[in-house]
Structure 1
Amino acid sequence: MDVIINTSENYRLDRLEACLEEIFSEMGGLEKFVKPGMKVAIKPNLLMAKKPEDAATTHPNIVHVIVKLVQKAGGIVSIVESPGGPYNIPLLKKVYSKTGMEEVADITGAELNFDLRVNKVDNPEALYLKSIQILKPLCEADLIINVAKLKTHGLMVYTGAVKNMFGSIAGLEKSDYHLRMSDNTRFAECLIDIFLATKPSLNIIDAIIGMEGDGPSAGVPKYIGGILASTDAFACDYAALKIIGVDYRKVPVLKLAEERGLFDKEKVNICGADISKLQPDSFDVPAIAREKKTNSLLSFGKFIKKSIHPLPVVTEEYCIGCGKCVVVCPPKAAKIDNNTMIIDYKKCISCFCCHEFCPEKAISIKRNLLGRLLRYRRV
């Protein structure tokens, strides 16, 4: 499982083109994957309508260069994504415009997907999701190129290549998965199952500027200066975690993939740029709650359980009462009262969707002293 890493100091098109051409050359040439007339779906991370400089989404210039190289190889390109929130044409237009994808399409002639249909897919390798509804344009593509963004994640520790394919699920159906798979382990297994249903042929991670802190949307842009690529998304994520100094076993998706025999770190061959030259001096990663080895703490009762459980908290002076948290909240624990978000903690499942999709960064994750001591640490 080769992972090719190359460096790029910035998002200039000429620099990106040279960087990606070198990567594809190391992989045997893009023509190895793209044949003339192939329908190629590029799946970026377009979490929400954020500007490229916010580092919450895949940079449009990386998508631009990949589109041009695929077209040069004879592929017919579409850009496909289901952002957070309702899956409808007005929202897609807003997201494509804000993230720079509309401009990419205008310049390159790539098609922006507005087909809202889904296809039912059998998923025999899945643990839970043996049958699943996937975006129709991804199902019909001859080749999927997964173009992720390196970021932290409040629930899953890190988001990269594997988790990016969660965007192959239409709109608010993603919230349903959060509700049905509300503990970290089951949700991570769900993400793996969804990835297995899509199986992109190429996985690329935009790690030129990643996101640390309260990702995947409210964190801080962090310069790293690299692009990673592999035919194996698990290996690609493993290499990205090595760059930011995170033990892969602290990331539920990688830990569980290893247990399922989908990933073996001993078979990962990292090629290209020296990882040590890309590693930042520090990278702030809010780590996932430790799995308790025993149930002894629960014997102390509901107070202890509540004290160690992380919760979303609204900062009222930042909240504008837009209601996006209400739309994306799986258990319907959020409401707007007097132009401010109110959370019903009896319903809250700590999926942090409200935190993830708040456009004003008005929602943080509460980590009280007891919770930090028992369940959290900084990596």
Structure 2
Amino acid sequence: MPKSKVALVRCATYHDETVYQAVELGLHLIGGMSQFVKAGETILMKPNVLYGTNPKECVTTHPSVFKAVGTLLKKAGTVVGYGDSPSFGSCASPMQRAGLKHEADELNIRLADFDKGRTVSHRGALLIKSFVIANGVLDADGVVNLPKLKTHPLVRLTGAVKNMFGCVPGLLKGQYHVKLPDPYDFATMLVDLNTLIKPRLYIMDGIMAMEGNGPRNGNPRPLNALLFSDDPVALDATACRIIGLDPRFVPTSLAGERAGLGTYHQENIDIVGDELA
């Protein structure tokens, strides 16, 4: 069985040109953008935005990472959209506060509909057999997931797997927190979302991460890393190893491997680019 490939590119600044070069290198290391998208396709970028805060607070995917990925998607000939769902209200204001609307407008990238959704069945799910998914996700040909590396009190890590929770519109997300208080059950729901939507590519912003009381109230922590993979479990496991967290203690790692979403075992992951330590 082939190993899952994760590219690790060290990057110590959010300077636009430096980030662009790092993203371009990371994609090259895993086969290039053309490995994941085709010209003419509609591709949705899914950053981590929550309620939208100043990028300096390290709650959200940084605008320079968003800009670099959006630029490369457009160079690949795709029609690009973007979106994320806050817990309540429209996603437009959070995008503006997070600095992403400015970059999107500069690139002529449209804001997708994350305010409303449609019910989609998931026969292959481990736990949740149907979801309401944002229209913007369902109307795209594919998704590029742009998580922020943060700690989380319930599932320990907010990363590639967890970021897809923002594809569930608004207040509906709160219902899952109520119905699934057990961390493993909640993680299994997140894995079901990933196996339903099947993002083409995951690119994690770990240049400045968040530790402590994430995903909103933790402390910024420089990790100087960008991570790239089409295996979200392997990507999250690599992020765990960077921060000294055993991925076996992360529920999404266990549920993800059980579902066949990916692997967290180090011997089954090929890390390319810069060294882990």
**Shorter-chain TM band:** over 0.9
User: After superposition, what is the alpha-carbon deviation per residue over 1:26-52, rounded to whole angstroms, capped at 9, x for unaligned?
Assistant: 122212222221101000000112110
Corresponding residue for residue 116 of structure 2: 117
In structure 1, runs of 5+ residues without a counterpart are 277-379
| Aligned residue number for residue 170 of structure 1 | 169
Give 2:44's aligned residue: 41
Separation in structure 2 between the aligned mates of residue 114 and residue 126 of structure 1, nearest angstrom: 25
2:67 match: 64
Compute the displacement of 1:121 (Å): 1.8
Secondary structure of the residue aligned to 2:39 is: coil
Give the equivalent residue in structure 2 for 1:30: 33
Asked whether the equivalents of residues 232 and 262 of structure 2 are also in contact (C-alpha less than 8 Å), the reply is no
Matched with 1:217 is 216
Give yes or no for contact 2:85–2:114 (8 Å, CA) kept in 1. Answer: no
Deviation of 1:144 (Å): 0.5
The offset of 1:115, in angstroms, is 5.1
Distance 2:157 2:114 in 1: 29
Deviation at 1:250, TM superposition (A): 1.0
- 1:341-379: CA deviation from partner (whole Å, max 9, x where unpaired): xxxxxxxxxxxxxxxxxxxxxxxxxxxxxxxxxxxxxxx
Range 256-265 or range 66-75, more displaced: 256-265
SS at match of 2:161: helix
Q: From the superposition, tell whether residues 37 and 224 of structure 1 become closer, same or farther in structure 2 (CA, over 3 Å).
A: same
**Secondary structure at 2:215 match in 1:** coil
Within 5 Å, give how 1:200-349 maps onto structure 2.
200-264=199-263, 265=265, 266-276=267-277
What does the per-residue CA deviation read over 1:147-173, in whole Å, with 9 as the maximum and x for residues that have no partner? 000000011111100000000101110
Counterparts of 2:31 and 2:210, CA distance in 1:
30
Q: How many residues align?
A: 272
Structure 1: which amino acid aligns with 2:21?
A
Return the offset for 1:232.
0.7
Cα-to-partner distance string for 1:67-95 (whole Å, 9 max, x where unaligned): 11110110111111102x21x33xx2220
Alpha-carbon shift at residue 261 of structure 1 (Å): 4.2
Which is worse superposed, 183-192 or 260-269?
Answer: 260-269
2:125 paired residue number: 126
Amino acid at match of 2:61: T
**If the length of structure 1 is used for normalisation, what is the TM-score?**
0.70
Aligned to 1:181: 180
**Aligned residue identity for 2:20:** E
Using CA pairs under 8 Å that are at least 6 residues apart, name the structure with larger relative contact order, 1 or 2: 2
> Residue 185 of structure 2 aligns to a residue in which SS?
helix
- The answer to whether residue 77 in structure 2 is matched with residue 80 in structure 1 is no
Residue 119 of structure 1 deviates from its aligned partner by 2.1
C-alpha distance in structure 2 between counterparts of 1:143 and 1:59, whole Å: 21
Larger Rg: 1
Output the TM-score relative to the length of structure 2: 0.94
Spell out, residue by residue over 1:308-332, the C-alpha distance to the aligned partner (whole angstroms, 9 max, x if none). xxxxxxxxxxxxxxxxxxxxxxxxx
| Structure 1 stretches of 4+ moved >6 Å | none
Indicate the RMSD between aligned Cα atoms, in angstroms.
1.3
